Structure 1
Amino acid sequence: MRAIAFAASTAPMAQEAAHRLRLLYGEVAAEAADVIVALGGDGFMLQTLHGNSTLDVPVYGMNRGTIGFLMNEYSEEDLPDRLAQAVEEVINPLTMSAVTCDGSRHNALAINEVALLRAGPQAAKLRISVDGRLRMDELVCDGALVSTPAGSTAYNYSAHGPILPIGADVLALTAMAAFRPRRWRGALLPSGAVVRIDVLEPDKRPVMADADSRQSVRDVASVEIRSERAVGHRLLFDPGHGLEERLIREQFV
């Protein structure tokens, strides 16, 4: 039997589940665990992955939240067998390097997406370069984001971005409420691309940068975004219910 560490969101349903599972299967500290079982929703799964990124320990999620796209079905029965049969998938996060108007630099990792959002009453004006080559002189919009395949059904999808197969070596660059070029929907980029977004007129049209809705930086002047291949988050899924199947199924709802 694998040594298990349990992590639960603050939701009562998740806390109650963690209590029962600890009584049934025992628990070790995350540093000594063979697997971390996360109880909550997708937001808590992201929190768990970020919080344990220095540990080479896979995370098996069970849904005690709302949507649970990154989670398995909750059950208290046969947990050791489910863990033994689970299929592992490794996802690479994005790294965000944001420079603010005062010259300070802020770095963060994002498993789902890095988003730039207008922080004032006027639309943002952005300039987009890919691998050092200018691709768009001026994008007037409410914001823009770069998404991983794993995050393509989250904020990216709500902004009408494409759903990406989990094994695709691409990133999605998606605009939010693009005004000019009107209705520009974005682009698919190689996963190794370096995306730089410069904020035009930042004093008049302030913009904030956000990594996975966890770490926000206000008054940004520019942001560089790239896939961080040196970091791999290990997720476990029940057979036949991995990310690839979920991404396909999401497109036929």
Structure 2
Amino acid sequence: MDIENIAFVAARTPEAQESLRRLKHRYGHVAPERADIIVALGGDGFMLETLHATLNHKQAIFGMNRGTVGFLMNAFREDRLTERLRAAARVTLTPLGMRATTAQQETIEALAINEVALLRQSRQAAKLRIRVDGTVRLEEMVCDGVLLSTAAGSTAYNASAHGPILPLGANVLALTPISVFRPRRWRGAVLPNTARVDIEILEQLKRPVSAAADFTEVRDVVRVNIAERRDLALTLLFDPEHNLEERILREQFMP
């Protein structure tokens, strides 16, 4: 792997900025669009920002944790960085594409690396109709919301909503309800990653709903179409002993 040119990017926290200064001084630095590899310093939120910002650059990204959780990050060490980059394991992520239509008939498209989440906007529960590949699977669901998660995002909001943690290589997505009231016993579904999920908001004026794809939120939606964007690929790098597949597997056995 060619790593002559490294771009360093960092969150705005003092810790991340100080690490940025030291690493630039030690290893040099080029602009992200000219880099062989991008090194991101921060937490998982900053990693998501970096992935979105570099979608068109195609460089692999190696994260080092200067944040809180750091699930998508490697441990921070200044020494032997080039050796770590050469030895790193590659993981390819495919984002979800969201197409949301508002009550004003405006159409907004966005990408989600973690999940697309629909959430009620008011005290009234949402009423949703869910189609998978054109077939109605739930005629009416009363809930606080629902989310469709990638495997990489399944340990985040999806896990907090009691959705399944998905192995990276399983080629599946998690459709997980949020505080579902009816049907009471529905706890979600695991779908093939080729599935197209269409969600229609029922009684939209009385029960308004917003849709969020990672950082993009759309208010007052009437329908949302979600499908994996297999024309896009993002590459993350991990130390071999702490690769993402192992982390996700380990999460399934956490007490």
TM interval, shorter chain, is over 0.9
Q: Match for 1:128: what amino acid?
A: I
| Structure 1 partner of 2:252 | 251
Unaligned runs of 5+ in 2: none
In structure 1, the residue matched to 2:188 is 186
Inter-partner Cα distance in structure 2 for 1:185 and 1:243:
26
Give the drift of 1:161.
0.2
C-alpha distance in 1 between matches for 2:203 and 2:244: 40
CA contact (8 A) 1:14 1:39 kept: yes
Could you tell me whether the CA contact under 8 Å between 1:90 and 1:235 is conserved in 2?
yes
Question: What is residue 13 of structure 2 aligned with on the other side?
Answer: 11
* Correspondence 1:156-167 to 2 at 5 A: 156-167=158-169
Matched, 1:215 2:213: no
Corresponding residue pairs, total: 252
Aligned-partner Cα distance in 1 for 2:4–2:149: 33
Which residue of structure 1 aligns with residue 234 of structure 2? 233
Residue of structure 2 in register with 1:20 after alignment:
22
Deviation at 1:241, TM superposition (A): 1.3
For residue 102 of structure 1, report the CA deviation from its aligned partner.
Answer: 1.1
User: How far 1:2 sits from its partner (Å)?
Assistant: 2.6
Q: Hey, what does 1:82 align to over in structure 2?
A: 84
Alpha-carbon offset, residue 182 of structure 1: 1.1
Within 2, Cα distance between the matches of 1:14 and 1:40?
A: 6
Residue-by-residue CA offset, 1:133-160 (whole Å, 9 max, x unaligned): 0110100000000000000000000000
Q: Note the alpha carbon deviations across 1:38-72, whole angstroms, 9 max, x for none.
A: 00000000000000100110000000000000000
Identity of aligned residues (%): 59
RMSD: 0.7
Alignment partners' CA distance in 1, 2:252 and 2:189: 19
Please tell me whether the aligned partners of residues 177 and 183 of structure 1 are also in contact (alpha carbons under 8 angstroms). no
CA distance in 2, matches of 1:2, 1:47: 24
Shift of 1:251: 1.6
Where 1:43 maps in the other structure, the secondary structure is helix
What code does the residue aligned with 2:238 have? Answer: F
Q: Distance in 1 between matches of 2:13 and 2:169?
A: 33
Residue 206 (structure 2) aligned to one of 204, 207, 210: 204
TM-superposition CA deviations, 1:120-140 (whole Å, max 9, x none): 111000000000001101000
Deviation string 1:142-198 (CA, Å, 9 cap, x unpaired) is 000000000000000000000000111110000000000114210011100000000
Match of 2:118 in 1: 116
Counterpart Cα distance in 1 of 2:181 and 2:4: 53
Quick one: which amino acid aligns to residue 232 of structure 1?
A
Match of residue 72 from structure 2: 70
Deviation at 1:209, TM superposition (A): 0.2
Structure 1 gap ranges (5+): none
Q: 1:83 is matched by which residue type in structure 2?
A: L
Detail structure 1 runs of 4+ shifted over 2 Å in the superposition.
Answer: none
Q: How does 1:162-181 map to 2 (within 5 A)?
A: 162-181=164-183
Matches of 1:252 and 1:187, distance apart in 2: 20
Q: 1 CA distance for matches of 2:143 and 2:12?
A: 36
TM-score with structure 2 setting the length: 0.98
Partner SS state of residue 15, structure 1:
helix
Per the normalisation by structure 1, the TM-score is 0.98
Shift of 1:243: 1.2
Offset of residue 240 of structure 1:
2.3
Counterpart-to-counterpart distance in 2, 1:104 and 1:183: 35
Contact 1:116 1:208 (8 Å CA) reproduced? yes
Q: Which amino acid aligns with 1:63?
A: N
Return the letter of the residue paired with 2:248.
L
